[in-house]
Amino acid sequence: MSSRPAAGGGRWVEVDPTRVGRWAEGFADRHGPPVVSPQGYGLLLTASDGATAELHLPPGAPTVGDAAQAVPPRRVDDVPQFVSVATAPRRLGLLLARKGAVAVGVAFGAELLVSKVDTRYVQGRTAAGGWSQQRFARRRDNQAKAALGDAAELAVRLLLPAAATLAALVCGGDRRAVDTVLADRRLAPLAALRADRLLDVPEPRHAVLVGAVAAARAVHILVRDPA
């Protein structure tokens, strides 16, 4: 479980979906039994002392009901139902990109099924000035563009064929790099599946991609303590 400050106050807590029930019990122990309110993002817990916790379903988490069979989706009404929905196995696409490196994969549940990592040299910064520095800057930009072009090709080969089976595409790394990759018109079906969540990851490597599966499945909880 990790925690970070939230814009506007409070803090974001990331919890493995299998531990959400225990986390909610701890919240009730600390703040009193909460009132549970269904929300578009998941659930809102409002404790008797004024503390609140917004439980946000992870990317691709299915709603209760099967839209494919014309069954109207229903809201998540309580914590056990939230946990059931959040932990349900689903197929996620992963795209991690930074200048010179990309990692793509498809996961089902907590398992990474297929993956590919590609790196390409990008010129480092130089302390030289004048025309020399401008020349190096242009070279770096060209190398970065070529690397992101390769990343788009990799996504076309590995992720695009799986697009129809994905519940969501979760991206990570540098937002501009990810945006550049998904700007490729061939990847429009993947861009349409892109989740709001952007994973904060270092330069993509296989181990980073493996760790990204858990981060993509984590439940994000916004906690605000009593005033």
> Which regions of the chain carry the CATH code 3.30.420.60?
91-216
Question: Does the structure show a pLDDT above 70 at 145?
Answer: no
State pLDDT tens for residues 160-193: 999 999 999 999 999 999 999 999 999 999 999 9
Query: 3-class DSSP state for residue 166?
Result: coil
Predicted pLDDT of residue 3: 83
pLDDT per position as a tens digit, 105-136: 999 999 999 999 987 644 455 445 554 555 54
Question: pTM of the entire structure?
Answer: 0.83
Q: What is the CATH number of domain 91-216?
A: 3.30.420.60
Provide the 3-class DSSP secondary structure of residue 190.
helix
pLDDT value at residue 149: 62
Predicted local confidence at residue 155, as pLDDT: 94
- Over residues 34-66, the pLDDT tens digits come to 999 999 899 999 999 999 999 999 999 975 444
The CA-atom distances, in angstroms, between 195 and each of 16, 24, 95 are 18, 25, 11
Contacts of 32 (CB under 8 A, 6+ apart): 47, 48, 49
